[in-house]
Chain A
Amino acid sequence: MSTIISNSTRLKTPKYKWSQQTSIVLLLIPCAIIAMLPFVWMILSSLKTGAEIRQLPATFWPQEMTWGNYQRILSDPRLPLGLYYKNSFIVASLSTCLTLFTSSLFGYLLAKHSFRGRQVLFGFILATMILPFQVTMIPSYLILLKLGLLYKLWGLILPAGISAFGIFLMRQFSLAIPTDLLDAARIDGAGEWHIFGRIVIPLLTPAIASLGLLSFMSHWNAYLWPLIVLKDETRTLPIILTWYSNQHGSRMELTMAAAVLISIPILIVFLFCQKWLVKGITLTGLR
């Protein structure tokens, strides 16, 4: 490892001394340990027995490792985790697909087509972008109620399928598409939908990938809105996790195991997409 460090140091950043780098790494390691500690504690706790959890003061390493908590959760007929995974997946993926489609189409129209009221519409979209969700939460709830979509997964997906931020982002990226390219295609006789699908979308792909990941992540982790508009079999994972934790307030080892089961898989998936996520965040600053 040290040779790699020294090599690359010499090659790329000659300004830093080897010892300086080591000390920085030594400084970063405790920081990283602190950052990881809650996760580690969660996993370790999920492997403890109930009796050990209730010990005082708390232990760090499990005295007696057990998978029983996981077995218990996975075999709990009252906690069909598969169903909630499916719900979360359906909601997050459909909302994301819808968002991507509406955002790229709307953004492209706003950027590359002229129509009456375009500026006003764009202004509206900007205004909704800065509007906190909590402001429109109440009316959105009432709208779902009137549309009969309350408690249904579609009730979660449809309002999430259009995002002012996404539209704004796609408009900015569409602006960068050369109009000449579009006109050339038109002269070649390409239809407008064809142009959108074959020219605009490919050009927007990097932005779409980033927006898609960010939006999937935020829908997957969403809590407040699903809490309000779902019940029973349509609940998503974060809602189930709080329910389970309330239900088993005294059994922290079970709650921690549930938290591991619910959050770890998606963390792993996201880790693989990290590159695009990072790109998306640096590109947009979006939270």
Chain B
Amino acid sequence: MNFQKEQSCGSLRQATKLASQTKRLTKTDVFTSNDKKNLPFTNLKLSIVLVSLLSLFFLTTTAVAQDLTVWMHQNLIMQDALDELAKTYMEENDGVTISFESFSYDSYLQSLQTALPSNNEADIMQLFGSWVCSFSSHLAKVPEDIVSVEKAQEDFFESSIAGYICNDELYGIPQESNIEFGAVLINGLHLNRAGLATPNWPTWDAVRKSARALTQRQNDYVLRAGLHYTSMDQIGFSLLSLIKQQGGVYQLEDGTFTFDTEEAAIALELLKTFVDDGTIDPVLFNGNQNWVGDCIYTESCAMGIIGQWVIGEYREYYPELSKELYYLPLPYLGEEQHVVTDSGWGMTVSENSEHQDVAWDFIKFVGLNLDNALRFNIVSNTIPALKANTTGEAQETLYELYPYFDTIIELLPYTSYIGTTTDRDLLLYEIIYPNVMAVLQDLQTIEEALAIIETEANESQ
């Protein structure tokens, strides 16, 4: 992968350094060019002032070290990707050092919640898009000269950028699209062993049929689940997407949640048929036990609903098995495919950072430069957030490396952002997940579950 060296103009210091190369006429440019000319004696006074000003400028700027700290969640391949890009950036920009600090997913959110208000945070924070608006009061807006809101909405997929736009202002740059529903990860080995061809699913009945064929049971126990869809994110996004596919809504214009609807009931009934068919036992296979990623890789599941990022995370440990995995698109309820998604991980800048200009310049380098953004996606096994990187040459590169990307990238036009809820984790993990699980385990009727979800979701706001 070759890097297109982008000349930065974010920081004044770099501008001064690169003044002779860049065509742009900044203030410093004028000074430098004046400096180089033979100074007219009549302007001696002025030139002395200029020179001293200039040297003062240089002195002060070199005195301020441009050390940027980046906070991110603990994700090894994303760290690798950012490390690589940061290294290149530092080579190109003398005097800038970028260091990364990582938190485990659980403690990251909590650290942000406490660090941001007390001005204790890093310069740059890699945030999950769906979190951004809940922190926006402490974040810096993306400067117009980096990218405008309109331009960003044009360049990025709607579902990826939407989380970063709060009250029509842009607060960060997404680096990936995060799709958890709409496609199924399948282990081709199981398919071969069962003597089945790669299925094509026009309807959900067809999916169930495949799932049944791939399920392995013994003495009433599901030894291998046909289709694992009962993890926390998956339950949530399945329900929301299936509602949307039928033309329904889960959140009204005024922000009230509405789950006690016919569409939601149909969605849950559909989800429950897989349990009734015996293709999965939600007691054995769920978000806490035999989690879908683990399940696929320990070959306890033939198929699972999960984003492609899981392949990136597990590839190192299962190099052989990873080659056998690919994605199949799911059918949809209603007229058109529709997948509800989060806005994925991306970069934001703290309002308190002393080096906002450098920070944005780095983010521009990482997230807006097409080649670098693609490089990030390749190393971290993520789906591009930039539309341009899912077409043409970029697309070819991606498909060559990761053939299974095509199914997911084809879903991108049909995605929509989950919406700005006060606490997305609360909604998905504490309200939807347990109640839907209770339905799947026959502890609660569909009507009861939907009523509770609706009440609790609205209470939480």
Contacts and interface: CB of A to CB of B under 8 A. Distances in A.
State yes or no: do A and B touch (Cβ within 8 Å).
Answer: yes
Interface of A: 54, 56, 78, 141-142, 145-146, 148, 150, 227-228, 231-232, 243, 246, 248-251
A273 B11 CA distance: 60
B298 A232 contact: no
Contact of A145 (B101, B103, B118, B298): B118
Contacts of B111: 231
16 contacts: A54-B300, A78-B76, A141-B114, A142-B114, A145-B115, A145-B118, A145-B120, A228-B110, A231-B103, A232-B103, A248-B317, A249-B291, A249-B293, A250-B297, A250-B314, A251-B317
Contact of B107 (A146, A231, A249): A231
A243 B297 contact: no
B66 interface: no
Contact of B102 (A145, A148, A231, A251): A231
Contacts of A250: 293-295, 297-298, 314, 317
Contacts of B223: 56
Given A141-B114, A227-B107, A250-B317, 7 more contacts: A54-B299, A78-B76, A150-B115, A228-B110, A231-B102, A232-B101, A246-B104
Q: Which 5 pairs between the two chains have the least Cβ-Cβ distance? A: A250-B294, A249-B294, A250-B297, A250-B298, A54-B298
B293 A232 contact: no
Nearest to B114: A145
B16 interface: no
Interface of B: 74, 76, 101-104, 107, 110-111, 114-115, 118, 120, 223, 291, 293-295, 297-300, 314, 317
Contacts of A148: 120
Contacts of A145: 114-115, 118, 120
Nearest to B299: A54
Contacts, number: 41
A114 B390 CA distance: 78
B101 A231 contact: yes
Nearest to A227: B107
A82 B76 CA distance: 19
A53 to B, nearest CB: 8
Contacts of A56: 223
Contacts of B102: 231-232
Contact of B74 (A228, A243, A248): A243
Nearest to A235: B104
Contacts of B104: 243, 246
Nearest to B102: A232
B69 to A, nearest CB: 11
Nearest to A246: B104
A54 B297 CA distance: 10
B81 to A, nearest CB: 14
A256 to B, nearest CB: 15
A269 B297 CA distance: 38
A142 B115 CA distance: 10
Contacts of B317: 248, 250-251
Contacts of A231: 101-103, 107, 111
B105 to A, nearest CB: 9
